[in-house]
Amino acid sequence: MSEAHGPARVSPQRLEAFVRAALEAVGMGASDAATTAEALALADSMGVHTHGTKLLAGYLRRLKGGGYKASGAPRVSRQGPAWALMDGDSALGQVGGAMAMGLAISKARSVGVAYVGLRNTAHIGAAGYYAWMAAREGLFGLVVGNDIPSVAAPGSTGPVLGSNPLAWAAPVPGGDPILLDMATAAVAGGKVYAAWQRGEPIPPTWLIGPDGNPTTDGNLYPHSAALAPMAGHKGYGLGLLAEWLSGVIPGGAITWQVGSWMFDPTDKPSAHNAGFIAMDIASIADPEEYRRGARRLVEEIRAAKSAPGVGRVMLPGEREWDARREAMAGGIPLPSDVVAKLAEASGMTGVPFPG
């Protein structure tokens, strides 16, 4: 890897293998390392670099510091036929999240719909990964999470809620799943960091300054500025929904009880939380009716008249699945800021990066 840490193109398989080896180098078991590596490399292959392998160096620091447990063992603390509460044991969020969605899928196949709340976990990364877990098995998946407050509420001068993610995925017979993964802030905090690090301007719709007014100074975030809520009061309401399903119902940490995985001492757990809902379509809907309805809706949206200069109206996830196919064929084009973080991870573990 060059010292300049410029852009690089890497195959998804080699990137995933690097992440897996780096995690195993700090004591994580092979299965948990593989789950985490799949989630991070998938995000990069879909072009979502803020939630891909750029996170690895930060995860490694916390694993080495003890705030996150390389040998953490998420476990069910209470459960019923259609629900469960899990303790994440401060294992990486991808480990606890995959277990939680796997349990929700299993229960949904028995009773139709199931909810699993996961508390005391780590940063969960891309929530869409877990929703996709359900969709690839033919189920509908919904995932929410919470975080340390970084998002203003309408009228506030500081953060009230986290940039709480909300993701859902639905299988489309004969096509890619519909996949929406969004922050309930106007933008994910990682995009503010990335833009500021690259010297790019911050749009005036992203941040709220300490006076309660919009600001374009990315240097103020997160210490003196908050993210704006997505669509004003609507995003605020969705963020609150995510807080309720991920933190309040499972009895986990909420708002300022959640730690900062980026800025807290590395020996401190972050106590993140997440909620997972799976719906077994085959148990609820007539398979043929579902196939017809899904295809009709997809075809109607794609046939909608597009604005000048726009090829066609797209469904949530289409750009990402197209990027994934291109990455599988020709490699992932990693931006320089991601390459720099991977070089850092390589230096921390001694695992050579295949760039």
Residue pLDDT, tens place only, 151-169: 999 999 999 999 999 999 9
Nearest Cα residue to 279 out of 134, 140, 177: 140
How many whole angstroms separate alpha carbon 96 and alpha carbon 258? 16
> pLDDT at position 58, please?
98
What is the pTM assigned to this prediction? 0.94
> pLDDT at position 332, please?
97
Q: Which domains does the chain have, with CATH numbers?
A: 8-67+323-349 (1.10.1530.10), 186-228 (3.30.60.50)
- The conformation of residue 185, written as its DSSP 8-state character, comes to B
Residues 6+ apart with CB under 8 A from 254: 146, 243, 247, 248, 273
Nearest Cα residue to 188 out of 303, 349, 48, 32: 48
Nearest Cα residue to 37 out of 57, 27, 52: 52
The tens digit of pLDDT for each residue in 268-287 reads 999 999 999 999 999 999 99
- Among the residue ranges 15-19, 31-35, 154-158, the one predicted with the least confidence is 154-158
Identify the sign of the CA torsion 99, 101, 106, 111. Answer: positive
How many whole angstroms separate alpha carbon 76 and alpha carbon 56? 27
Q: pLDDT class for 74, splitting at 50, 70, 90?
A: very high
**Strand arrangement, sheet containing 159-161:** 159-161, 151-152, 226-227, 207-208, 214-215
Active site residues: 123
4: pLDDT strictly greater than 80: no
H or E, element range at 165: strand 165-170
How many whole angstroms separate alpha carbon 38 and alpha carbon 65? 23
Residues 195/146, Cβ–Cβ less than 8 Å: no
How many whole angstroms separate alpha carbon 66 and alpha carbon 269? 8
